[in-house]
Structure 1
Amino acid sequence: MTEIPQAIQDKKTDKELYSYQKGAIDQIFEKFETAPDDHHLLYQLPTGGGKTVIFSEIVRQYLKNHKKKVLIMTHRVELCKQTSEMLTSFGVLNKVVNSTADLSDQDQYSCFVAMVETLNNRLNDDKLDISDVGLVIIDEAHYNSFTKLFKFFENSFILGVTATPLSSNRNLPMKDNYDELIVGESIQSLIDNEFLAEVEVFQYNMGLTSLEIGPNGDYTVKSSDDLYSAVNMLDQLLQAYLTHSKGKKTLIFNNGINTSIQVYYHLRAEGLPIMHLDNTATKKQRKKILKWFRDTPDAILTSVSILTTGFDEPTIDTIILNRATRSLTLYFQMIGRGSRILNNKSKFSVIDLGNNYQRFGPWEADLDWHAIFNNPNYFIDNLYSDEELESNFKYEMPEELREEFSKSKDVYFDIKKTYQDATFNGISSKVVLEKSIEHHAYICVENSEDVYDALGLAKMLGEDIDYRIDKYAKCISKSTHNFVSWLKNDYRLKLRAHLRDNFDEIYEQIHGHPPIEE
Structure 2
Amino acid sequence: MRRYQLLMQNFNYDKLKKYAGEKLIDHLIEWLPNNTSIYQKSILISIIEKINLNDLLSKKEFMKDILSASSVSDICNLCLENGVAIDKQRPELMINKLVNNPWKRSKINESIVNYLEIPFDPFALSEVYSIKPLEYIENSERFYELFDYQFFIKQRALNILNSANYLERLLIHMPTGTGKTKTASHIICNYIVNSMHKKGLVIWIAHSQELLNQAIDTFSKTWKHLGNGELSIFRLWNNHVLPSDFKDGIVFCGVQKLISIKNNDPQAFAQLHDLARLIIFDEAHRALASETMDVVEKLMIKMPHDEDRSLIGLTATPGRDSDIDSEENRRLAAMFGSNLLNIDIDLVEGLNKSNLEVLNSATEKNIIRYLQNRKILSKLIVEKVEYQKDFTSKQINALKKYIKANKNIDYSPKQLQILAENKARNKTIINTIKKYADMGCPIIVFAISVEHAKILSAMLTLDSYNNSLVVGESSCNREEAIRKFKDPDDDTNIIINYGVLTTGFDSTNIKCVFITRPTKSIVLYSQMVGRGLRGPLMGGNEECYLVDIKENIEGFNNEEIFDYFANYWK
Q: TM-score, normalised to structure 1's length?
A: 0.62
**Counterpart residue number, 1:315:** 509
Q: 1:337 aligns with which of 509, 531, 536?
A: 531
Name the structure 1 match of 2:240. 100
Q: Name the structure 2 match of 1:490.
A: none
CA contact (8 A) 1:254 1:304 kept: yes
Is residue 321–residue 522 contact of structure 2 (8 Å, CA) maintained in 1?
no
Q: Does structure 1 residue 22 correspond to structure 2 residue 151?
A: yes
Matched, 1:75 2:207: yes
1:37-436 to 2 correspondences below 5 Å: 37-67=166-196, 69-91=201-223, 93=231, 94-98=233-237, 99-107=239-247, 109-124=248-263, 125=265, 126-128=267-269, 129=271, 130-144=273-287, 145=289, 146-152=292-298, 153-155=300-302, 156-167=309-320, 172-173=328-329, 174-180=332-338, 181-184=340-343, 186-204=367-385, 210=399, 217-246=409-438, 247-282=440-475, 285-295=477-487, 296-297=490-491, 299-342=493-536, 345-353=541-549, 355-356=557-558, 358-361=560-563, 363=565, 365=567
SS at match of 1:16: coil
Please state how far the C-alpha of 1:202 moved relative to its aligned partner. Answer: 0.6
After superposition, the C-alpha distances for 1:418-451 in whole angstroms (9 at most, x for unaligned) are xxxxxxxxxxxxxxxxxxxxxxxxxxxxxxxxxx
CA contact (8 A) 1:197 1:340 kept: yes
Contact 1:140-1:163 within 8 A present in 2 as well:
yes
| Equivalent position amino acid for 2:524 in 1 | L
Q: Does the Cα contact within 8 Å between 1:202 and 1:352 map onto a contact in 2?
A: yes
Determine the C-alpha separation between the residues in 1 that align with 2:484 and 2:193: 42
How much does 1:22 deviate? 0.4
Q: For each residue in 1:270-317, what CA deviation from the matched residue of structure 2 results, as whole angstroms up to 9, or x when unmatched?
A: 33223332111357x111211222233462222112110111111111
What is the CA distance between 1:119 and its match in structure 2? 1.8
Deviation at 1:213, TM superposition (A): 6.3
Tell whether the 8 Å contact from 1:228 to 1:234 is kept in structure 2 after alignment: yes
Quote the residue 2:70 is aligned against: none
The alignment-based identity, stated in percent, is 22
Task: Give the Cα separation in 2 of the matches to 1:49 and 1:273.
Answer: 31
Amino acid at match of 1:104: S
Q: Kindly report the root-mean-square deviation, in angstroms, between the aligned alpha carbons of the 2 structures.
A: 3.0
Q: Which runs of 5+ in 1 are unaligned?
A: 1-11, 368-518
Q: Is the 8 A contact 2:522 2:561 kept in 1?
A: no
Take 1:62 and 1:287, find their aligned partners in 2: how far apart are those partners? Answer: 33
Q: CA deviation at 1:204?
A: 3.2
Q: How many angstroms does 1:176 deviate by?
A: 4.5
Give 3-state SS (helix, strand or coil) of 1:204's partner.
Answer: strand
What letter corresponds to residue 120 of structure 1 in structure 2? I
| Contact residue 103 and residue 127 of structure 1 kept, 8 A | no
Distance 1:176 1:356, change over 3 A: same
Q: Is the 8 A contact 1:190 1:196 kept in 2?
A: yes
What code does the residue aligned with 2:380 have? V
Give the conservation status (yes or no) of the 8 Å contact 1:69–1:111.
Answer: yes
Closer, same or farther in 2 for the Cα pair 1:364/1:17, shift >3 Å? farther
SS in 2 for 1:131: helix
Which of the pair has more CA radius of gyration? Answer: 1
> CA distance change for structure 1 residues 366 and 158 in 2, over 3 Å: closer, same or farther?
farther
Q: How many residues align?
A: 354
DSSP 3-state at the match of 2:245: helix
> Residues 100 and 270 from structure 1, CA distance in 2 versus in 1: closer, same or farther, beyond 3 angstroms?
closer
Distance change in 2, residues 1:35/1:167 (3 Å): farther
Determine helix, strand or coil for the equivalent of 2:567.
Answer: coil
CA deviation vs aligned residue, 1:174-194 (integer Å, no higher than 9, x gap): 234232122236332222111
Residue aligned with 2:235, SS: strand
C-alpha spacing 1:76/1:366, structure 2 compared with 1 (3 Å): same
Residue matched to 2:84: none
The change in CA–CA distance for 1:344 and 1:76 in structure 2 (over 3 A counts) is closer
Alpha-carbon distance in 2 for matches of 1:203, 1:292: 28
1:74/1:115 contact within 8 Å kept: yes
Query: Secondary structure of the residue that 1:188 maps to in structure 2?
Result: helix
TM-score by length of 2: 0.57
Structure 1, 185-194 or 325-334: larger mean CA deviation: 185-194
Structure scoring higher RCO (CA < 8 A, sep ≥ 6) equals 2
Give the whole-Å Cα distance in 1 for the aligned partners of 2:459 and 2:221: 43
